[in-house]
Amino acid sequence: MAEIIHLVSPNFRDIFEPNIEIGKFPDGDSHVRIPLIAECEGREVVVFHRLYSKQNTALVTLLFILDSVKEAGAQKITVVAPYLPYSRQDKKKLNGEVASAFAVCNLLARAGCDNLITFDCHFLNKEGPSKFGELQIQNVSMGKDLVGYAKAKIFSGEECEVISPDMGANYLVADHGGKSYTKVREEYKKQKIKYRDIGTMEGEFDVKDKNVLVLDDMISTGSTMISALEKITAAGAKKVCCAATHGLFLYNCVDKINKFTDCVYSTDTIVNAHSKVPIKQKLVDLTDANLKLF
């Protein structure tokens, strides 16, 4: 069987050696060059490309790569994008609103992506294969790795309660008791899309004098995590830390989080100053298995 071709974007250089060149023209248009393009004909191709930060440019760049690899006659194309932007907009709340999670997935599928491998994707509530819109997705979870880090490095081998701040992330904590708050956001203010405040966060857990890890799929503005940390701190927990697969950490929210815990960390699906749990081994395992996932 012909060897699989791995194409690696420069934004994946912290994990694998890049072999795609990406630059910009003076007007901001993206320029992409794939020196190995001629070798893609009739082969299975795996593209490693991050879609955050600068998600709009990163998405367009990926569409260019897919179009080119498809045109070159690849037999099958798998994309590995550790964080999928727009994954939170999977429902239409307003008349005429685009459900951009579907739009992104459909665009990737139509551009030639046969499989997307991504991590703890917001609109999926389980690990493994799923179809979303027209796109086949393999959702890989970092839940066990994030819990393992807390137990080993933060709680020094002591037991801890693991709680997620909303039901969407419940599968991340399922192997550890599966406790989750139920979060309800308010409506958009004056029908203008910006951000919906957290309305309520329901759930009471017996955490008095216990170690607690609060675990979510992502920390973006931090408002969800801070609401959960407030409740857990008020309930008398002993030592509290928090983590997420994807650390966007917008608006210096770490400073606010640190009022409740000095321990906040993430994986490196998005490389940031708090990335403590690497995804590399999972990716190596997947590629060693020749990505025979479906």
Residues near ligand R5P (CB under 6 A) are: 88, 165-166, 168-169, 216-225
> What whole-number distance in Å separates Cα of residue 275 and Cα of residue 269?
8
Smallest distance, ligand R5P to C-beta of residue 45, A? 32
AA letter at 111: A
> In this structure, which amino acid lies at residue 66?
L
Shortest distance in whole angstroms from residue 280 CB to ligand R5P = 24
C-beta of 87: minimal distance to ligand R5P in Å? 9
The CA distance from 258 to 237, in Å, is 15
Least Å distance between CB 181 and ligand R5P? 10
Nearest CB to ligand R5P, comparing residues 114 and 216: 216
Closest C-alpha to 141, from 158, 124, 154: 124
Q: How far is the CB of 232 from ligand R5P (least distance, A)?
A: 15
Peptide bond into 227 cis (omega under 30): no
Nearer to ligand R5P, 101 or 291 (CB): 101
Distance CA 248, CA 220 (A): 5
Give 76 or 88: the residue with its C-beta nearer to ligand R5P: 88
Query: Residue 287 burial by CB count (10 A; 0-12/13-18/19+): exposed, middle or buried?
Result: middle
Q: Of these residues, 54, 144, 153, 190, which one is catalytic?
A: 190
- Nearest 5°: CA angle at 22, between 73 and 51? 85
Q: Is 292 a catalytic residue?
A: no
Q: Where are the alpha helices (DSSP H) in 114-174?
A: 143-149, 170-173
Residue among 102 and 171 whose Cβ is closer to ligand R5P: 171
Round to whole Å and give the CA distance between 81 and 116. Answer: 7
Provide the residue count of the chain: 294
139 versus 223: smaller Cβ distance to ligand R5P: 223
Listed in sequence order, the residues at least 6 apart from 96 whose beta carbon sits closer than 8 Å to its beta carbon are none
Residue 153: DSSP 8-state: I
3-class secondary-structure state, position 88:
coil
Min CB(264)–ligand R5P separation in Å: 12
Q: Beta strands 264-267 and 240-247: pairing type? A: parallel
Closer Cβ to ligand R5P, 11 or 180, answer by number: 180
Q: What are phi and psi of 72, to 5 degrees?
A: -75, -10
Active site residues per annotation: 190
